């Protein structure tokens, strides 16, 4: 069984998805989906341990050796991302049953779990596969499921948000597919390791440059890099609350992984950051995203939309880390990828609790909630200070490493602007804290009970994780350092 862990990671949720349609009862379907997700988390933890102990795992499907057959190749980088996606997906799913009973009609709940598992499987497949065409296939599985999940939102604007994401996502996927086609045309292979071995001999031909440009734009659309982020705020604001928590904690992280995989592993650091001026482009766009999205977040009245713009800013931090072109910068990106998943998972699950009790995510609904929903607001405060990057939180660790990497590479202005971005985060987080703790409720006669335990427990699990990994950093630091050194050492 242990020999088949790479394919089990993807097959378990993929096969389980249509099975939800057979069970039919929402409570049983939730339990079944949760157990499948928990099994996927167990598999990803075993894969990470196996990679740390024994090195890269190569799994050949159908008995065909790579590069002729499809290969699942698990190294320290994608083992780390698999653990993040499966862990956050499982925790969010633990809270899903309570939240969707309030936000979705009975007939939509079975569909939700089916789509959730399909999206979950697609994201895991993108990360696990060692074949670039399979990346496109799994990207489509996850994207189509995400469009439908967003459209389940009870606000009619969710349909427009889903359509907007559909258009942008289709453009991004098309660009990615064109780039993959160009790569196959010049190399005759789709295997990632084989591509990495063949591309240096081809050099900077026009076809390779075109392939790189198409792939880069396609991935940047998916990860919502400024200014290609226009689909994200509406998608986060109008999707069901647990859907927002799931895609905020996982989907953009997988897209960042893809960017690292293509630029560092497949095309190589020398080509991506030296031959081409990508280093300056990534740092510039990343900083623009950090500053512009943070300023826009300050003026948002819908809190889900505010944290959506915050996600655009946090993606900017990760992109700056890649753009620095050093192992320290890449480690900071991988750290922030993990820490941001914890932050946004906690924040959006807490918002799900607010929506459950209050029925709105507008800032006016938060007036006085610090006294009426103390546990829920406590989790939001912890997620908020981690987002800012205060000491003793996970967010501080990754931002410290990112600023240190910028200083070490003599990018003093970059370091200064990154600090400015954190100060802007103080402004929009404070607006929420002020409303919750220093304003009286607009309707004092209408009590708001605390969120149900089934929502509070997963929320606080992530909130406490933000504090724990701000103190005990051994696991994330060890894994990310190993991954960044491996990638910059030339190993795939």
CA distances from 47 to 9, 41, 342 (A): 9, 10, 21
- Residue 444 in this model has a pLDDT that exceeds 70: no
Percent of the chain with pLDDT strictly greater than 70: 96
User: Residues 144, 149, 154, 157: is their CA dihedral positive or negative?
Assistant: negative
Among 100-109, 131-140, 443-452, 458-467, the range scoring the smallest mean pLDDT is: 443-452
What is the per-residue pLDDT for 442? 62
What is the per-residue pLDDT for 460? 92
CB 236 within 8 A of CB 304: yes
And the tokens for 210? 């075109």
Question: What is the spatial distance between Cα 350 and Cα 91, in angstroms, rounded to a whole number?
Answer: 13
CB 343 within 8 A of CB 260: no
- Residue 422 in this model has a pLDDT that exceeds 60: yes
Instruction: Look up the pTM and report it.
Output: 0.89
And the tokens for 280? 């300056």
Question: What is the spatial distance between Cα 446 and Cα 113, in angstroms, rounded to a whole number?
Answer: 33
Instruction: Determine the straight-line distance between the first and last CA of the chain, rounded to whole angstroms.
Output: 25
Tokens 């427009």 belong to residue: 160
- On the CB side of 184, CA atoms within 13 Å amount to 13
pLDDT, tens digit, for every residue of 260-269?
888 888 888 8
pLDDT, averaged across the chain: 86
Phi/psi at 490 (nearest 5 deg)? 100, 0
pLDDT, tens digit, for every residue of 233-250?
888 888 888 899 898 888
């Amino acid at each position: 069984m242990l020999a088949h862990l790479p394919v089990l990671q993807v097959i378990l949720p993929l096969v389980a998805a249509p099975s939800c349609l057979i069970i039919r009862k929402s409570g049983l379907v939730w339990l079944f989906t949760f157990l499948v997700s928990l099994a996927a988390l167990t598999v990803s933890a075993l894969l990470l341990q196996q990679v740390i102990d024994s090195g890269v795992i190569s799994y050949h499907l159908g008995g065909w050796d790579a590069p002729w057959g499809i290969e699942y190749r698990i190294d320290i980088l994608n083992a780390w991302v698999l653990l993040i996606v499966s862990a956050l997906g499982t925790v969010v799913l633990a809270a899903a049953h309570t939240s969707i009973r309030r936000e979705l009609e009975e007939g939509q709940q079975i569909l939700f779990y089916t789509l959730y598992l399909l999206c979950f499987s697609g994201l895991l497949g993108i990360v696990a596969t060692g074949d670039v065409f399979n990346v496109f296939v799994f990207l489509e599985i996850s994207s189509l499921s995400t469009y439908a999940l967003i459209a389940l939102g009870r606000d009619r604007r969710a349909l427009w948000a889903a359509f907007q994401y559909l258009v942008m996502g289709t453009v991004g996927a098309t660009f990615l597919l064109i780039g993959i086609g160009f790569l196959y045309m010049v190399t005759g292979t789709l295997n990632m390791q084989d591509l990495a071995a063949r591309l240096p001999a081809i050099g900077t031909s026009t076809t390779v440059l075109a392939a790189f440009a198409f792939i880069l734009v396609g991935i940047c659309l998916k990860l919502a890099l400024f200014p290609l982020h226009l689909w994200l705020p509406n998608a986060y604001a109008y999707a069901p609350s647990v859907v927002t928590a799931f895609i905020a904690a996982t989907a953009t992280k997988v897209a960042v992984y893809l960017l690292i995989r293509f630029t560092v592993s497949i095309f190589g650091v020398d080509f991506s950051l030296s031959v081409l001026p990508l280093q300056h482009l990534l740092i510039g766009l990343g900083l623009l995203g950090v500053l512009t999205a943070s300023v826009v977040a300050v003026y948002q009245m819908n809190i889900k939309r505010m944290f959506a713009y915050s996600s655009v800013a946090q993606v900017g931090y990760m992109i700056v880390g890649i753009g620095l072109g050093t192992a320290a910068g890449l480690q900071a990106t991988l750290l922030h990828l993990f820490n941001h998943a914890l932050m946004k998972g906690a924040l959006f699950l807490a918002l799900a609790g607010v929506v459950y009790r209050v029925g709105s995510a507008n800032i006016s609904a938060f007036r006085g909630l610090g006294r009426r929903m103390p546990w829920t607001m406590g989790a939001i405060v912890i997620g908020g200070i981690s987002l800012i990057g205060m000491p003793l939180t996970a967010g501080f660790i990754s931002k410290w490493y990112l600023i240190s990497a910028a200083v070490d590479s003599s990018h003093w202005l970059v370091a200064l602007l990154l600090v400015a971005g954190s100060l802007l985060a103080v402004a929009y987080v404070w607006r929420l804290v002020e409303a919750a703790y220093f304003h009286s409720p607009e309707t004092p006669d209408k009590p708001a009970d605390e969120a149900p335990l089934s929502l509070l427990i997963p929320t606080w699990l992530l909130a406490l994780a933000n504090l724990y990994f701000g103190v005990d950093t051994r696991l994330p630091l060890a894994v990310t350092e190993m991954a960044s050194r491996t990638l910059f050492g030339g190993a795939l």
